[in-house]
Amino acid sequence: MFTVRPEKIHLIDAAAEAPAGHCRATGTVRDVAYAGPVTRLTVRLDAGPELVVLQQNLASTSAEVAALTGNRVQLTWRPEHNFRLSPAPVPASSGG
């Protein structure tokens, strides 16, 4: 199991070619929150869970990013940005 920092994930069109060597996942934008310099997008993945993506608002307006809600997208990130999660420790039995 792993996680990826939201600012390391790039959102591209679902039909676009992912950059060579990148990890990818497809899904649908469920929620968009425009927050001045960044937009927080929640994407429901085809595989089931949700991922949060942060993207800078360098060339987009709040109306443009709001229009992404419901769109099919592809998320890409470099494999070195995967952060492996340690499994939760199993509690010791009290043996009674």
* pLDDT (tens digit per residue) in 78-95: 999 988 877 766 676 655
Residue 7, domain member (yes or no): yes
User: pTM score, two decimals?
Assistant: 0.78
Q: Pseudo-torsion of CA 32, 17, 45, 40, nearest 10°?
A: -20
What three-state secondary structure class fits 92?
coil
Look up the domain containing 19 and give its range: 2-84
Cβ atoms of 13 and 73 closer than 8 Å: yes
CATH of residue 22's domain is 2.40.50.140
**Alpha carbon 9 to chain centroid, angstroms:** 6
Q: Is residue 94 part of a domain?
A: no
pLDDT digits (tens, 9 = 90+) for 2-15: 788 889 999 999 99
Arithmetic mean of pLDDT over the chain: 87
Measured over all CA atoms, what is the biggest interatomic distance in the chain, rounded to whole angstroms? 64
